Every structure is written in structure tokens, then in C-alpha cells.
Structure 1
Amino acid sequence: MRRLRRAVVLAVAALVAAGCGGHAAAPPSIPIGAPADPESQLVAQLYASALRFYGNPAHVVATDDPLGGLDAGDVRVAPGFTGELLMRLAPESAARADVQVYRTLLSALPEGIAAGDYTTSAEDKPAVAVPERTVEAWGGSDVSAVARRCGDIAIGAVASAPRPASLATCELPEPREFPDDDAMFEALRVGRIDAAWTTTAAPDVPPEAVVLSDKTSLIRAENLVPLYRRNELTESQVLALNEIAGVLDTGSLSDMRRQVAEGTDPGLVAGRWLEEHPLGVGN
């Protein structure tokens, strides 16, 4: 009996010592998957910075297939653009407006994967740029003006850049392809083309070009959204991801992309932006 009491005392003492003098193990870092290109790395670093802002270790993992990595459990968060994700998961969907695209995406997500809030004020979808003289001639600055002229427009695009084949019922002519944005916008400036495909968050649209609005959602929405593995993040970690949606806008995304294009590290750009736009303030 005496030996038993001694063993119990020693066990209790060991537990007390562990509780008083021991250090809790640091939580594991949350892997965030993104392709290796600088723009995708920037987006991933934004969400990693949001997690770190609230004390959650996080790091970015370069992967060619973030959604596949998320499904396999190799990463726990995978940011993406709503329209691109929807095209992969439900390519037959006709959704175009941002809310419609997001809701359709939610219903198409694989089992075990959830989506956070999407950035209602930040998008990067295909857009049409025209010279100021064209806006005056058309009497408007909406992409519906392109749809009304449909096959009569000579439009340019950088090779491999995403762009829709149609605007509503308007089947667009094949664009003239250029090796880079500089060559395309020079052709637009001198009148060799009437319009040019760009994106709403492109950092290199010249000031003399006007990016047409899309008030009737003729072009599918592309808003940022964080996908994550269901039941593997805490509620506070999900809230941290969601806070990006409350502070990021298209202008900020474009400016950060410009800095990255100029050679600044994506993680540094994301961290600086978060310092200037702290989460939880006014949200």
C-alpha cells in the first residue's frame, strides 16, 4: 500500500511539474497551396499573412494543382478565383454574376472542402480596354458596347491570356495575338486594333486606355476565395481567412501585383499591405 501511495504521489507531482514548468508545443504551421507564379504566390501570401496576424503559423507551398493538393490533404488552404474554380468543378455552369458564381461553386465543391467568404470588392476577371476616343465615339464605357458591335471589332489579346469566346449572344471574332502587353497596347494606341483584352486587376494598363465596366455581368466573375479542408481549421482561423474579403479591393490587388512585377518578394508585398490595412479594424 505504501508503494502504491508513493507511485500516485510521484505521478501527480510529474503532472504538476509538466503543467507548471513545461512549455506547450507550438501549433503546426498551416500549409497554403498555390502555383509558383508570382501573382498566385502573392494571393497565397495574403491569406498566410491573415492567419499570422492572429497568431497562427502559416506557410505557402508551391504546387501545380492547389485544389488537388487540398483534396489529397497535402495543403489545408488553397485560394483561387471563383470563376476559374467553377469552370474546373462545373464547366457546364452558365453562372456569371459574382453571387451566382459563388453560390454555384459552393454546391460544386468536393466533399470535405469548404469555401470562405469571397472578396466582393476585389476581382480579376477578363476585361476589355479601349482608347478614350472610342469611349466617346461609342457614347458609353460598358462592355455591352462591344457586344452591340460584335463581329465588327478587331480585338487583341496576349497569347494564352484568359478571355471569353462570347459576350451573351455575341460570338466574338478570334483576337489578334501579341507576345506581350506592351506590344498589344501599342497596337491599340495607334489604331491597329479597336480593343484589347486585359483584366480588371492588371497593373500595366496605360493611362490613356479605358477599361470598360461590366454592369450586366456579360463576363463571368472572378473574385478571390479561400478554399480549405473542412473541420481542420479552428473557427478563429476561418474567420482570419474571411477577413481578407472585408479589406481587399481591386485597386489594392492591382497595386500589389505591380510591386511584384517590379521584383519585390510576394510575401513582403503582402505583409506590407496588411500592415497598412490591419484586419479587424472597422470590420
Structure 2
Amino acid sequence: MRLSRPRASYRLRLAFCLAAVGIVAGCGGTPALPSIPVGTTGEPEAQLVAHLYTAALRFYGNPAHVQVADDPLGALDSGEVRVAPGLTGELLARFAPDSAARSDVQVYRTLLSALPEGVAAGDYTTSAEDKPAIAVTERTAGEWDGGDVAALARSCPDIAVGAVRSEPRPARVGTCTLPDAREFPDDDAMFGALRSGRIDAAWTSTAAPDVPSEVVVLSDKTSLIRAENVVPLYRRNELNESQVLALNEIAGVLDTGSLADMRRQLAEGTDPGLVAGQWLEEHPLGVGH
């Protein structure tokens, strides 16, 4: 009996210490790493991307969590979050609004030079973009003799263009200044107008999940529309090398088709964190990279 009491007391003290302090190796070990906050707005599409980067950090053993903020970039500047993913073109418009860069490489390189002191950018997703795109009927694509947005620029400005209300779209395509878009409450109404001929073209995006199969989304081989690739911004000198590499892993696996498919699941009501987790299970990081 005298021997059993110290052992039981030791086990009790050890269990209490582990639970109270959260130490994995014991009371005398190294405290657990603080969780890395990844900033995002409340929009499901933005939360999806934040969850992808959060999962990447966790995959390589870094505690991380998604943190919603009204202004993730402001939260990044203040230190409230340490990572803030975004789209390259939108970020460039914020940090260098007068920049004329349009191709993905140009936009990324210009963004790097325009970032505020103390903020760095990881690798951008060369195969995943979500930039504005023009959709037309197959008949219109045939009349324009091509499936590229350059055909629209050649027909400018006598084109009736539609857009969903509040959705972003550029005012210019190359050297063409487009007339004001006719606004619609949703995609169904806009694509209905396109099919009926009430508009000649409709603004969508390259990763839109709801483009009807019978319309043609024009390519942009000469980068007339500014690139919008996914990229993580982070606080310089506050992430170690392995954490930055974890963020960069997303650039090697994410593509536009996957982004569109995940956005389709969001539109069906699936939680962004669940969508991101399921996708990463099917596309594990570190494989072939």
C-alpha cells in the first residue's frame, strides 16, 4: 500500500499537468506552438481558400486556424493574423492601383515589389485562377471567328454586355472601353438573357461553377484581362522556412477545375472547411513535389 500511493499520486499530478498546460512531452517539455491565424472575409469562397492554406500548415505539423476579419489585409498589417490569402490582381489593385500589369507573371512580380514593408508573398497558383471571363453563345463565337476575348475587343464598343449585380468585372478589355453592363439579379437571369439574344456577352469568371454547358467561355491568350491567381501573403520573419514551404505547397496542387468544383460544393451549402479538407484528402500535399 505504501508503494502504490506515490505511483498513483505521480500519475495524477502528471495528468493534471498535461491537461492544464497542453504539453505533449510532459511538464518539463517544450510548450505547444501557438496556432497560426489565417485571415479571411466572411465570404464562403474566401473562407475556402483560407481553409486550404490552414490545412496545408497543419499537414506539416503547424497548428493553424481560420480567423474571419472585415479587412484581412488590415489584420495582417496589425499582426492580428499572420497569413492572408487573396487573388493577385485584386491585391495589386489595392497596393498599386495604377499598375498596367495583366499577365499572371507580370501581376505577381509587380505585386512583390508593391507589398508593404514587413509583408511577403508565397508562390502563386500558376494553374488556378479566378479572373473575370466573357461568355457568349456558340453562334456568337462562330460569328466572331474565334473563341478568344480578343474577338470581343475587335467588336468593341457596340456590344451589349450583362453582369450579375455586385459581381466584379473590368471596365476595359485591352484597349476597349466597354459600355456599362446591364445588371441582373443572378446567373440564371443573366444567362437567360444571353441565350435569348438580349445581350451579346455575359461576365462570368474562369472558376465559376454555374456556367451553362451550351455557352462558350472565351479564352484570353494575350492577357487582355488582368490575372487573378491565388496567392498567400504573410508577415515577413514571423513564419519559419518550413511554414512558408507548407503554404507554397498549395501552388503545386490547386488548379482552376478543382477550384470551380469546390465552389460548386459551396453553392450547394457544404461548409468551406469540409470542402477544403475533402479535397486535400484526394490531393495530398508532398506527393510528387
What is the TM-score normalised by the length of structure 1? Answer: 0.92
Q: Distance in 2 between matches of 1:20 and 1:199?
A: 52
| Runs of 5+ unmatched residues, structure 1 | 1-18
Q: Distance in 2 between matches of 1:143 and 1:125?
A: 13
Q: 1:202 offset after TM fit, Å? A: 0.5
Residue 61 of structure 2 aligns to which amino acid in structure 1?
A: G
Residue 222 of structure 1 aligns to which amino acid in structure 2?
A: E
1:187-215 CA-to-partner distances (Å, cap 9, x unmatched) read: 11111111100000010101111110000
> Which residue in 2 is equivalent to 1:103?
109
**Count of residues in correspondence between the two structures:** 265
Q: Distance in 2 between matches of 1:217 and 1:20?
A: 57
> Which residue in 2 is equivalent to 1:220?
226
1:119-198 pair list within 5 angstroms: 119-198=125-204
Tell me the SS of whatever aligns to 2:85. strand
Q: Distance in 2 between matches of 1:126 and 1:252?
A: 17
1:202-241 CA-to-partner distances (Å, cap 9, x unmatched) read: 1010111111000000000000000000111110000000
> Which residue in 1 is equivalent to 2:215?
209
Residue 111 of structure 2 aligns to which amino acid in structure 1?
A: L
Q: 1:24 offset after TM fit, Å? A: 2.6
Tell me the SS of whatever aligns to 2:162. strand
Q: Distance in 1 between matches of 2:107 and 2:37?
A: 26
Q: Distance in 1 between matches of 2:31 and 2:242?
A: 19
Q: Distance in 2 between matches of 1:92 and 1:188?
A: 33
Tell me the SS of whatever aligns to 1:156. strand
> What is the RMSD of the two structures over their aligned residues, measured on CA atoms?
1.1
> Which residue in 2 is equivalent to 1:65?
71
Correspondent of 1:39 among 25, 45, 51: 45
> Which residue in 2 is equivalent to 1:76?
82
Residue 205 of structure 1 aligns to which amino acid in structure 2?
A: V
In percent, how many aligned pairs have the same letter? 78
Tell me the SS of whatever aligns to 1:270. helix
Q: Distance in 1 between matches of 2:280 and 2:60?
A: 12
Q: 1:137 offset after TM fit, Å? A: 1.6
Q: 1:171 offset after TM fit, Å? A: 1.1
Tell me the SS of whatever aligns to 2:216. strand
